[in-house]
Chains A and B, each alone.
Chain A
Amino acid sequence: MNKILKIALFIIMFLWLMPFFWTIALSIGHYANLLENRLFLFSLRNSIFIGLLTALLVVSLASWTAFRMTRHNLKLTKVILLLALIVSIYPQVSVAGPLFIVFSRISLINTLSGLILVYTTFSLPLVLWYLYAYFQKIPMTLDEAAAVDGAGPWTIFIKIILPQSIPALTVSGVLVFLFVWNEFFLGFVLTIDEHARPLPTALALFTSRYETNWGELSAASVIAAIPVFLLSLYTKKAFMMEKDELEE
């Protein structure tokens, strides 16, 4: 009985991964063409650049804020956590129009900095909640000992909190990068110029320009998927390790 169940589960899993196999099969032999496609290369560069900068920005902002929120009994803490929840769940189509209008007014449309600002806003909540929970587990006695030795909050943050939370910081950085790498709607709305498009937008609009070029599209999909898989395997491992540590 158990054996039948196991075999059935493996078959389900194989069927589940079918579209991947098909995409990879169709992509073979189209990579050389793709690497001459300048728009694709532009979008690849844009996404890498935006992803890295957003990750850096979000992790530094969120870690400092989460540190202050856990270490002091501030009234604003609840406000910020609530705002984070609200920002992460409402339909994002509703901000598309206003952001478009304001961004074209201050000429942030089509710029990487505009996208970085927006992505920072929408990926902050997750990281903020995650780091807030993580910092709460770091004992306060360490801070107090350092404070007795005359360390200010900044020193405590840099020298005590950050070194202890490097795994959590990298996981959050990777999560933000993946968020940026996967996000479609905002990047789609806030870029008009083909050269400013992030990768998902370029992938979505691939067919309108190259109507039948399925080979190149699948090659582009495979390339876009590689970092996602590597990074998400890494985060999964980190999450698992943390869970095991908690259980011990």
Chain B
Amino acid sequence: MKAKNLSLMPVLIIFILFGIVPVFYSGFMSFQGIWLKTPWLNKSFVYFDNYRLILTDPQCYQALWHTLGFVLITLGIEVSAGFCLAYALFRATMGKHYLIQLGLFLPLATPAVLSAQMWRLFFHDSQGLLNRVLEHLHMISQQIPWLSEPVLAWFTIGVAELWKVTPFVTVVLLSSLLNIPRQTWEAAYLDGAKGWKCIRFIAIPLIRKTILVIILFRMLDAIRVFDLVYVMTQGGPGGATDVLGLFVYRALFSEMAMGKASAASIIMIGLAGVLALIIFLVYRKYTKDYE
């Protein structure tokens, strides 16, 4: 009995030591005045000062709203666009076409940093393809500063994110569409269902579990967005594209304020937890009355 449990120990220890303990350590440090350079000296217990500091910081709210906006907008677009694409591919019976699969797979496999750099290059003022083409077609008189104008910067970040993530949503939804038995479609056809009705009453209800699971995972992923924004704009211009991940990073490595950074990351975990809980409740409600 003991030997059996013992063989699971390495993995358990790794998870606890490197996955769970740091989070609790973070939670512990969020009540301390502690600095990154001298973490073993000068610590003091400051109760909720770090949280008070953050919750009165306009930068934090800015980052929070940006993150929430980013999550909601990209999630909305990627799920609806992914569904449309998947349904179109399914209808055109191209789900297994080699070229299409390649096109869906390449963006999905591209490292995030790489896609961020590629899109930076694409939108670059003078080197970018977009400005060059627009100039060539005489549609613009001067180069558009895609990455140094707040709204445009968000637009480019959104494009980069959607470019990478929409294929993922499409692949998953397509595979669950392909799993719907053929008889279901035939029965619907015999009953006279066409076009929109097929989508509304067959496709969506039958894959809604998958849709909710995708929303959950994509949301947890989007909350921790860091690499894309860091590489493309570094939060600029002037904090216009700041997100929570960058906020924590800056508190940690620019201000060296370990306590503040920990408190912010605990808030982030809380946010992720609340959103995950909401989706989970929706999931349970929907799947219950369906079965």
Contacts and interface: CB of A to CB of B under 8 A. Distances in A.
Interface in A100-142: 100-102, 105, 117-118, 120-122, 124, 128
Contacts, number: 223
Contact of B15 (A6, A84, A204): A84
Given A99-B18, A124-B15, A90 B111 contact: no
Interface residues of B, number: 77
Nearest to B104: A13
B68 interface: no
Interface stretch (A15-23, A30-38, A162-170): A15-23
A86 B121 contact: no
Given A76-B5, A76-B12, A83-B19, A98 B227 contact: no
Given A87-B19, A221-B118, A178 B109 contact: yes
A79 to B, nearest CB: 7
Most buried by A among B5, B11, B262, B265: B11
A195 interface: no
B8 A65 contact: yes
A78 to B, nearest CB: 11
Contacts of B106: 17, 20, 229
A193 B117 CA distance: 22
Contacts of B230: 204
A233 B92 contact: no
A225 B15 contact: no
Nearest to B166: A16
B84 to A, nearest CB: 10
A6 B94 contact: yes
Interface string B69-101: 000000000000000010011011010000111
Interface in B114-146: 114-119, 121-122, 124, 127, 129
B165 interface: no
Interface stretch (B21-29, B49-57, B186-194): B21-29
Contacts of B227: 184-185, 200, 204
Interface string A176-201: 00100110110001000000000011
Contacts of A6: 92, 94
Interface in B253-276: 253, 258, 261-262, 265-266, 268-269, 272, 276
B113 interface: yes
A16 B12 contact: no
A221 B117 contact: yes
Contact of B14 (A19, A20, A26, A124): A124
Contacts of B117: 203-204, 206, 217, 221
Given A2-B92, A102-B22, 20 more contacts: A9-B85, A12-B85, A16-B163, A17-B107, A62-B11, A64-B7, A74-B8, A83-B20, A92-B224, A94-B268, A94-B269, A100-B36, A182-B111, A184-B226, A185-B227, A214-B124, A218-B118, A221-B117, A224-B111, A233-B105
Interface of B: 4-5, 7-8, 10-12, 14-16, 18-23, 25-26, 29, 36, 39-40, 85, 88-89, 91-92, 94, 99-101, 103, 105-119, 121-122, 124, 127, 129, 163, 167, 217, 220, 223-224, 226-227, 230-231, 244-245, 248-249, 252-253, 258, 261-262, 265-266, 268-269, 272, 276
